[in-house]
């Protein structure tokens, strides 16, 4: 049985203490174990990163970038192996895992340009023979705590850029599917990353608590649910750390009467049900403006959902696979049932999919719920499953008010042919990422990812320009060399 441990100081370490089973979510069968890092082992990882920091900080930026270029090549070379690990532990269909990896590699590409990105500003003669410039210096040891739903992509949002900026890193991936994160970190070492620059601890709250409180850790990046994100942010900042904590979402798609309904239906299919809805950018609510729009949308979705292919990752033709655990499957099923009991109309019921050979897997089929209202649990909570709720609105302002009133403000989108409506929507909606006729407006690597309201705790978003600022601190230097030919008298006024 496969045993997953840690990567500390360039060496593979297997704990002898607590363990957690690693189950294949498509079968429910155990295929390995993960050894959970103790507080002591987590401190060992931090110590290894601290020891590696002085030499890595002094490494020329161009050499750090060369490691990132080689790392990118290693990721592409081993893409199939990475995707197999993701599929086995997370349940993603291979084509979905491949898409995740591609978006992660884009962030490595961005990190390759660190020598350009880290250029400071220079001003000559800001005063008599006085020059001033700024530079962006690394923080030291930084940490990342990442979720189960993107075991490759989200870590690649963090440590490539942090490391390219001269920091050293401790990664705590999800204990539900850690194998891909460990494997990818080993590829970074194969690309020439010195021992201790990148460390990985497979663990749970015990490891997290150390990362949030150890004085050697200067900054923490987190992606996960909102309650945990808020707790991480509060604890980390209380201990004097810089923190960006990305939380949950309830992403609304608004469909206007003038929209291309067929295009909107096709867009909703992938945005709502892709990766079993286990995406923080999934569309879980579609707001139809007008009864006719709603009826056409529901009819189109119902028709398309009849051909959804659900099953294990062994068949790449499947559209999506299982949920991550039996407990999460039960939670999703309970939220579907609550909608029915609260008066919503269940158009397509995915609570009991018939999947011969995968009866013990953690599957929920695509589910469509109409006549949903704001007071229902299925609307208020982040479901994180293949469930799409339909809310009906009379006009655009009413639809936008639904988005603005919700506690989450991660992403949203509008389907319309009206440029004026699109501009009004994008200017005024209270969400961090906005799409116009694009259902998943996930920014590319050279922009930044982050929501508003209770979807993000902290001042800077993930990756891109905000990531660069998060993993560095500005230093401004003002300099003058005394002249043998010019002597100034003392001055007691502010210059």
In three-state secondary structure terms, 72 is: helix
For this structure, is 280 an active site residue? yes
Residues in the chain: 495
| Sheet strands side by side (includes 283-289) | 345-348, 367-370, 387-393, 283-289, 251-255, 411-415, 433-436
How large is the angle between the packed helices 61-77 and 179-190, nearest 10 degrees?
130
Pairwise CA distance, residues 451 & 448, whole Å: 10
Q: Which of 83, 165, 243, 280 does the annotation list as catalytic? A: 280
Task: Identify whether the C-beta of residue 4 lies closer than 8 Å to the C-beta of residue 88.
Answer: no
Q: Are 239 and 447 in contact (CB under 8 A)?
A: no
| CB 359 within 8 Å of CB 27 | no
Three-class SS of 386-407: CEEEEEEECCHHHHHHHHHHCC
Q: Which of 444, 383, 406 is CA-nearest to residue 106?
A: 444
Which string of b and e fits 109-147 if b means at least 16 CB within 10 Å? ebbbebeebbeeeeeeeeeeeeebeeebbbbbbbbbbbb
Which phi and psi (to 5°) does residue 78 adopt?
A: -105, 25
Question: Residue 251 and residue 131: Cα distance in Å, rounded?
Answer: 49
Q: How far is CA 26 from the centre of its chain?
A: 23
CA distance 147 to 48: 24
Listed in sequence order, the DSSP H helices in 59-178 are: 61-77, 79-90, 94-112, 114-117, 153-164
Q: What are the DSSP calls for 104-135, one per residue? A: HHHHHHHHHTHHHHT---EEEEEETTEEEEEE
**Measured at the alpha carbon of residue 122, what is the angle toward residues 116 and 123, in degrees to the nearest 5?**
155
Residue with tokens 């800001």: 126
Token output for 370: 């109409």
Cα radius of gyration rounded to whole Å, the chain: 25
Q: Compute the Cα dihedral for 252, 256, 261, 267 and give only its sign.
A: negative
- The residues annotated as belonging to the active site are 280
């Amino acid at each position: 049985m496969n045993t997953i441990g840690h990567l500390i100081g360039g060496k593979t370490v297997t704990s002898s203490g607590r363990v957690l089973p690693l189950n294949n979510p498509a079968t429910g069968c155990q295929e390995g174990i993960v050894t959970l890092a103790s507080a002591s082992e987590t401190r060992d990882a931090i110590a290894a990163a601290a020891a590696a920091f002085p030499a890595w900080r002094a490494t020329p930026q161009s050499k750090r970038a060369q490691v990132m270029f080689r790392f990118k090549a290693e990721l592409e070379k081993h893409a199939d192996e990475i995707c197999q690990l993701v599929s086995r532990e997370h349940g993603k269909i291979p084509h979905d895992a491949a898409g995740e990896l591609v978006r992660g590699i884009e962030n490595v590409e961005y990190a390759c340009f660190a020598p350009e990105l880290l250029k400071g500003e220079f001003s000559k003669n800001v005063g008599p023979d006085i020059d001033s410039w700024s530079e962006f210096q690394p923080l030291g040891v930084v940490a990342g705590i990442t979720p189960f739903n993107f075991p490759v992509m989200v870590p690649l949002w963090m440590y490539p850029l942090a490391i390219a900026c001269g920091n050293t890193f401790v990664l705590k991936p999800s204990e539900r599917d850690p194998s891909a994160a460990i494997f990818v970190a080993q590829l970074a070492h194969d690309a020439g990353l010195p021992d201790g620059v990148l460390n990985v601890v497979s663990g749970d709250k015990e490891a997290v608590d150390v990362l949030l409180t150890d004085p050697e850790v200067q900054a923490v990046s987190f992606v996960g649910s909102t309650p945990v994100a808020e707790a991480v942010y509060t604890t980390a900042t209380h201990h004097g750390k810089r923190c960006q904590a990305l939380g949950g979402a309830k992403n609304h798609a608004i469909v206007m009467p003038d929209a291309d309904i067929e295009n909107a239906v096709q867009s909703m299919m992938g945005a709502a049900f892709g990766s079993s809805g286990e995406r923080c950018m999934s569309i879980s609510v579609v707001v139809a403006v007008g009864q006719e729009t709603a009826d056409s949308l529901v009819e189109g979705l119902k028709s398309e959902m009849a051909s959804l292919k659900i099953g294990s990752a062994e068949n790449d033709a499947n559209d999506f696979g299982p949920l991550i655990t039996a407990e999460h499957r039960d939670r999703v099923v309970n939220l579907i049932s609550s909608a029915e009991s609260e008066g919503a109309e269940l158009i397509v019921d995915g609570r009991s999919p018939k999947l011969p050979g995968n009866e013990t897997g953690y599957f929920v089929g695509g589910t469509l719920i109409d006549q949903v209202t704001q007071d229902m649990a299925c609307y208020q909570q982040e479901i994180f499953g293949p469930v799409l709720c339909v809310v009906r609105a009379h006009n655009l302002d009413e639809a936008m008010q639904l988005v603005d009133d919700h506690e989450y403000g991660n992403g949203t989108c509008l389907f319309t042919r009206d440029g004026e409506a699109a501009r009004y929507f994008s200017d005024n909606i209270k969400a961090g990422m906005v799409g116009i006729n694009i259902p998943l407006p996930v920014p590319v690597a050279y922009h930044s990812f982050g929501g508003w309201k209770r979807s993000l705790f902290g001042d800077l978003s993930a990756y891109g320009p905000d990531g660069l600022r998060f993993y560095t601190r500005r230093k401004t230097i003002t300099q003058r060399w005394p002249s043998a030919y010019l002597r100034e008298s003392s001055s007691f006024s502010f210059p």
